[in-house]
Amino acid sequence: MRLLLAAPMIGVLTILVGAVAADEATRPKSKETTWTFDADKADKPPAGFSFGRTGQGKEGKWVVLAVKDAPSSGNVLAQTDGDKTDYRFPVAVADSPSLADVALSVKCKPVSGEVDQGCGLVFRYQDANNYYLTRANALEDNVRFYYVKNGQREQIKSWSGNVKSGVWHDYKIEAKGDRFVITFDGKKVLEATDKTFSQPGKVGVWTKADSVIYFDDLKVEPR
């Protein structure tokens, strides 16, 4: 028996197939990316990252280090330059992906710093002077959310709580449109809205002044 479809039905099916294909093409891919740095050479910058600095002072020194207590075992990414310039923010960003809506997380350990011990996450990064930032400070016991526009850092919101030096912390931000949720050591500490940057950008990590910080298991997932 031969099954015959009327021409109108064929047209409807064609439209439906086309709509599904278009939806699949525009839907964000759910694949996450994680950098453990374990395959990178120690004492060298990690592959697939670029580096910059907001403000003044030295550019920063980003290298992979082999440390015994690395969360993923093996290596970590570290900012090791101790320049004490106060308005100095070294940044390391992954060359890809470029995303707007993300879940971005890292394990970070403040190691030392007299001026600051700031461990930060950056996203929607356009360049070294334009991006969103959340950072946890072990000298101030707080977590803050900022935007950096034209090189000027502006605070959006702040939370006061325990941020320990010499301890690994779990740090995460979720960004969807103009809404942001920040989690620190498994606790939701900040919720905020802001419209400064809506376009896709790179993701990465950040420090301030003489902060020596270790980072591991940097993970990003489209939202």
- pLDDT, one tens digit per residue, over 159-182 is 999 999 999 999 999 999 999 999
Give the pLDDT band of residue 30 (cuts 50, 70, 90): low
> Does the pLDDT of residue 198 top 50, yes or no?
yes
Q: What is the model's pLDDT at position 176?
A: 98
Q: Which residues of 115-127 are buried (b: 16+ CB within 10 A; e: fewer)?
A: bbbbbbbbbbbee
Quote the tokens at residue 168: 């690994």
- pLDDT, one tens digit per residue, over 77-121 is 999 999 999 999 999 999 999 999 999 999 999 999 999 999 999
According to DSSP, the residues that pair with 206 across neighbouring strands are 91, 120
Give mean pLDDT, residues 171-199.
98
Give pTM, 2 decimals. 0.86
Task: Tally Cβ neighbours within 10 Å of residue 62.
Answer: 23
> Does the pLDDT of residue 22 top 90, yes or no?
no
Q: What is the model's pLDDT at position 73?
A: 83
DSSP classification of residue 138: T
Mean pLDDT, the chain, whole residue set: 90
**CA-to-CA dists, residue 63 to 3, 78, 79, 99, 114, angstroms:** 66, 5, 7, 25, 21
- Kindly list the structural domains of the chain, giving each domain's residue range(s) and its CATH number in brackets, ordered by start: 31-222 (2.60.120.560)
> For the chain, what percent of residues have pLDDT higher than 70?
87
Per DSSP bridges, beta strands 74-79 and 212-222 are antiparallel
